[in-house]
Amino acid sequence: MTGPAAHAGGMSAPIVIHRPSPTGGRRVTIRGQIAGLAFDDHDVTEFLRRAGLPDAEQLLDQPEWVEWRGGRAHQYAAA
C-alpha cells in the first residue's frame, strides 16, 4: 500500500480535525499527535506546515489525507 493511509496503518487519514469544542476551535492531530487547536483553516495549514507538509492548503479537502470528525468541514464555531 502506498500513500498517506499506508503511513497511518491503512486505517484512516493521517490528519484528523476533531469535532468543534464547546468554546470554539477544533483539535488537530497529525499521525496521532496533537498539533494544536485550530480556529480556522489558516491555523490548520500552519500546523501542517510545521509538520513538514508544505502544500497543506491543498490537503484539507482530500479525504485520504484529512478526516473531519464530528462536524462540517471548515466549520470551527463552538458546538
- Which residues form the domain of 25? 4-68
pLDDT, mean of each 10-residue run, the chain (79 residues): 47 91 96 97 96 91 96 91
Residue at 61: amino acid letter: D
pLDDT at 30: 96
User: What does pTM read for this prediction?
Assistant: 0.83
Does residue 73 fall inside a structural domain? no
Does residue 77 fall inside a structural domain? no
Does residue 34 fall inside a structural domain? yes
d(CA 66, CA 79): 20
Residue 29 grid coordinates: 492531530
pLDDT at 1: 36
Does residue 25 fall inside a structural domain? yes
Does residue 75 fall inside a structural domain? no
Torsion of CA 73, 1, 56, 24, to 10 degrees: 30
State how many domains the chain has: 1
Does residue 78 fall inside a structural domain? no
Q: How far is CA 5 from CA 15, 65, 79, in A?
A: 10, 8, 29
pLDDT at 10: 54
Does residue 54 fall inside a structural domain? yes
Does residue 58 fall inside a structural domain? yes
d(CA 25, CA 11): 25
